[in-house]
Amino acid sequence: AKGEKRGTCRSFRLGMDAAAQEKTRLENDFRDALKLGQLYVHYQPLVDLTSGAVECFEALLRWHHPVRGSVSPDVFIPLAEEIGLIDAVGRFVLHTACREAQNWPEHIKLAVNVSPLQFRNGNLISTVINALTSANLPPERLELEITEAVLMEKGPRPSAIIRNLRTFGIGIALDDFGTGFSSLSYLLNYPFTKIKIDKSFIFDLERESNSRAVIRAVIGLARNLGLTVTAEGIEREAVRDYLRDEGCLQGQGYLFGRPSPASEMQRYLSCDVRR
């Protein structure tokens, strides 16, 4: 029994080593990914829940690893943050997405996710303006999606940067709303233009009356603050109809389209009644 115990302990330690090695390997691979052109951007439509018309495309970063295949951004974005590459990655996404959005009809916006860490080094505004300028894209067509984690950053900087971005006409969406810890009063101190209800609430909507209560509260709050509200993770028509009837005007989810390459966006746009 003693031997068994030791064995378990050793293999546990070996397991830890293997996991650490694995992480280091993935980090090293990611350092090469940008240089080797393994990163690319997909787009997912945000639609008007009443008409079905596309209003916006959200840029979602993808990594094709030569051996592992597709790696989730939920894995490699935190990794990029940890090894100090998130600024370079953020620049890549902004420049790529702004360039590709040039080809879309003018009423269609572009949403780009921004990591809270991109607020730290003071370059975010110039990065965003450079990307817009070099693509000749009006700032009003860009919407940055940030999570409430940015509000936890120390000091007045994040709110000053957000205000500055707003003066250019750039939209600011509060992403993953409802998953964090911030009180609603926080919201009033930041000039958000949109709230995105996290998909966990949308997935639970039919089973959980609590989720329905949260959704109803957020829609009411957004309306009172004059903000747009978007629901992500809509996979079924019944869910779309429920949200629309509750007064949610915009939605995103597999029901309308999965994240796809820019070349496939024409397919969505051909369904757009206002084109």
- Nearest approach in angstroms of CB 189 to ligand C2E is 22
CA distance 101 to 145: 16
Query: What is the Cα–Cα distance from 258 to 1, expressed in whole angstroms?
Result: 53
- Read out DSSP for 49-76? TTT--EEEEEEEEEEEETTTEEE-HHHH
Interacting residues toward ligand C2E by CB under 6 A? 44, 59-61, 72-74, 77, 93, 113-115, 145, 175-176, 199, 232-235, 252-254, 259
Separation between Cα atoms, residue 253 and residue 232, nearest integer Å? 6
Contacts of 57 (CB under 8 A, 6+ apart): 43, 44, 45, 46, 101, 104, 108, 109, 110, 111, 265
Residue of 27, 81, 153, 176 that binds Ca ion (CB under 5 A): 176
Between 104 and 177, whose beta carbon lies closer to ligand C2E? 177
Q: Would you say 29 or 198 has its CB closer to Ca ion?
A: 198
CA distance 179 to 177: 6
Least Å distance, CB 161 to Ca ion, is 18
Nearer to ligand C2E, 9 or 75 (CB): 75
Q: Does 113 bind Ca ion (CB under 5 A)?
A: yes
**Residue 253 near which of ligand C2E, Ca ion, none (CB within 5-8 Å, type-dependent):** ligand C2E
Tell me the closest approach of the beta carbon of residue 17 to ligand C2E, in angstroms: 28
Contacting positions for Ca ion (CB under 5 A): 113, 145, 175-176, 198
